[in-house]
Amino acid sequence: MFYGSITALITPFKDGEIDFPAFENLIEWQIENGTHALVPCGTTGEAPTLDKEEHYAILKRCVEVVKGRIPVIAGTGSNDTRTALATTKYAKEIGADAALMVMPYYNKPTQDGLFAHFTTVHNEVGLPIILYNIPGRCVIDMSVETMARLAKLPNIIGVKDATGDLSRPLKIRHAIGAEFCQLSGDDITAAAHLAQGGVGCVSVVSNIAPKECADMQNAWRSGDMETFNSLRDKLLPLARDLFCESSPAPVKYAAQKIGICCDEVRLPLLPASRQAREKVDAALDFAGIKGNMAVKAA
* Statement: residue 186 has pLDDT above 50: yes
Active-site residue, selected from the candidate residues 3, 60, 160, 257: 160
The mean predicted confidence, pLDDT, of the chain is: 96
* Statement: residue 294 has pLDDT above 50: no
105 is catalytic: no
Summarize pLDDT for 103-153 with one digit per residue, the tens.
999 999 999 999 999 999 999 999 999 999 999 999 999 999 999 999 999
89 is catalytic: no
* Statement: residue 295 has pLDDT above 50: no
What local confidence, expressed as pLDDT, does residue 296 receive?
41
What's the mean pLDDT in 175-195?
Answer: 97
What local confidence, expressed as pLDDT, does residue 292 receive?
57
Q: Where are the domains of the chain?
A: 4-232
What local confidence, expressed as pLDDT, does residue 293 receive?
58
Percent of the chain's residues with pLDDT above 90: 97
What's the mean pLDDT in 204-223?
Answer: 98
Name the CATH superfamily housing domain 4-232.
Aldolase class I (3.20.20.70)
3-state helix/strand/coil string of the chain? CCCEEEEECCCCEECCEECHHHHHHHHHHHHHCCCCEEECCCCCCCHHHCCHHHHHHHHHHHHHHHCCCCCEEEECCCCCHHHHHHHHHHHHHHCCCEEEEECCCCCCCCHHHHHHHHHHHHHHCCCCEEEEECHHHHCCCCCHHHHHHHHCCCCEEEEEECCCCCCHHHHHHHHHCCCCEEEECCHHHHHHHHHCCCCEEEECHHHCCHHHHHHHHHHHHHCCHHHHHHHHHHHHHHHHHCCCCCCCHHHHHHHHHCCCCCCCCCCCCCCCCHHHHHHHHHHHHHHCCCCCCCCCCC
Active-site residue, selected from the candidate residues 56, 90, 132, 253: 132
Summarize pLDDT for 8-57 with one digit per residue, the tens.
999 999 999 999 999 999 999 999 999 999 999 999 999 999 999 999 99
This model's pTM is above 0.75: yes
